[in-house]
Structure 1
């Protein structure tokens, strides 16, 4: 091949590479995620005036929410019947893609009580047109290996019940799932997370990754977890960790470098993400979610 042909061919390859690169960027950006907020972050404001609070966080750029505090006997969220709260969201052009429901007590209750509770959660989620029901937490005294094994079976049954209703079901991690339990019979100690992820059906039980707790307690990174379990983490919680206290803090103020640890959304199976800060606000919850929204929009939004 002479120099002229070589230059022509390499030029074609270079041009093709640019086109492929642009195409890849275009494909990556076709999933237009709404900026989400876990409303527990502004629980003090939601307790005072839910509608005014929703308007304020909407003005910051939040469009989608994960709820908490469902009253299953009253079929209500934040004091409003499910259908009323859906109307409020619709009027504000907002959505609620998930809610954290109070499953923890049902580890101690009958199977029929659990089935009834799940049915109530399903009715609430359907009224909101909310695609996910999420198990968020268990009490400290419940965090035993036997309970994690029981939970795996429960999660599968709940996931099956929820799937039959046309909805998705997920489990949300904290840090305690990554704690190693005492060694038994010379074997290395087990972790609750390993039990839950290995003994649940990926088709029925998805995972909501709390990235703060992964960085705080798991001795790994969100990116590595996704590499190990692709397609399983359909939701993310994004929050930062104070460099000294390791408590929560506003995005961009802490020690978690999301530019380095954010997983590939497609490989993760990501459908929704929520910014969250459980406490330790610099001034107030509303100022903190405004600060986090500004940081996310300028620094991280293009990565998701």
Structure 2
């Protein structure tokens, strides 16, 4: 895919540098607010696939300072151009999503892509149906542990992103999630906790966070309506303040807005989530 170079500069670069400083992060932590709000780009995947540079510009203009790549065909794009665009806009990419098969078959290329984009952590985003049985899951967990060790050797962290099925699928009476937590080395495999999907699966988020103390790398943040459908942060019923108060226990480093079902034209949806989280105190 050919990406169009753009010369427009946003005026937030200085503010972005200040927000990223250790002093700013400590001050934000002390006051109970999120220092830097991120966006999982899967939320705007249709826009991103059509024009990634323009989409990153729109995301930065909303106020996001971090992005997590996932979907939208980013893996086949010009990663150097994506990186230079982020640098120009004051955006960073702490982590990105790379699929199980890509880690199996294209590990070196996956590492190179992550490093070009400036990511420090690779996140495994999803496991398809064929792995969701006792035998296949057990074999996959061996590989997941191995990915963590290989990525650590390459200077990268590793995390697993949940949906609902890890909690609700229970071969031999034990959930896939509990099996993962027990089988995987906590120093090698962290958790990117998707709060919506955990709650959707019937989990108490506070209890879950306490059980994963120090092991949660990041949150995926999206809200849930009374009918359990997905919506932008602030348009649903989830008490994020109560959840984020546990961050001294959780040790979460990044808060990524993600709405898998964001309605077109997408930017109003991510703006609502950003504004809600920016105003949140906990």
User: Shared topology, TM-score over 0.5?
Assistant: yes
Q: Answer with 146-155 or 207-216: which moved more.
A: 146-155
Aligned twin of 1:260: 242
The gaps in structure 1 that reach 5 residues or longer are 1-23, 72-76, 107-112
Residue 242, structure 1, aligned to residue 242, structure 2: no
The 1:292/1:191 distance shift into structure 2, 3 A limit, reads: same
Partner of 2:19: none
1:209-228 aligned at under 5 Å gives the runs 209-217=193-201, 219-228=202-211
- 3-state DSSP class of the match of 2:112? helix
Aligned-partner Cα distance in 1 for 2:70–2:215: 22
Name the residue aligned to 2:128. Answer: 139
Is the 8 Å Cα contact of residues 97 and 125 (structure 2) preserved in structure 1?
yes
2:271 pairs with 1:290: yes
TM-fit CA distance, 1:37: 0.3
Moved over 4 A (4+): 24-27, 29-32
Relative contact order: is structure 1 or structure 2 higher (C-alpha 8 Å, sep ≥ 6)?
Answer: 2
> 2:175 matched to which residue of 1?
191
Equivalent residues in 2 for 1:72-221 (5 A)?
77=74, 80-103=77-100, 105=101, 114=104, 116-181=105-170, 184=172, 189-217=173-201, 219-221=202-204
In structure 2, the residue corresponding to 1:99 is in which secondary structure?
A: strand
**SS of structure 2 residue aligned to 1:126:** helix
Q: 1:96 to 1:79 in 2, by over 3 A?
A: same
Structure 2 residue 25 is matched with structure 1 residue 44: no
Counting matched residue pairs gives 257
Question: What TM-score results when the alignment is normalised by the length of structure 2?
Answer: 0.84
Q: Distance in 2 between matches of 1:166 and 1:78?
A: 20
Q: Residue in 1 aligned with 2:57?
A: 55
Which whole-Å CA distance do the structure 2 matches of 1:82 and 1:46 have between them? 13
Shift of 1:125: 0.9
Unpaired runs of 5+ residues, structure 2, are 1-25
2:111 & 2:45 partners in 1: Cα distance?
23
- Cα 1:52–1:132 shift into 2, 3 Å: same
TM-score by length of 1: 0.78
CA–CA separation in structure 2 for the residues paired with 1:50 and 1:38: 13
Measured in 2, the distance between the counterparts of 1:34 and 1:153 equals 34
Structure 2 distance, partners of 1:202, 1:57, is 33
| SS of residue matched to 1:171 | strand
Larger Rg: 1
The equivalent of 2:66 in structure 1 is 64
**Cα distance change of structure 1 residues 284 and 221 upon mapping to structure 2, 3 Å threshold:** farther
Task: Judge conservation of contact 2:28–2:34 (CA < 8 Å) in 1.
Answer: no
| Per-residue deviation, 1:269 | 2.0
Q: Secondary structure at the match of 1:65?
A: strand
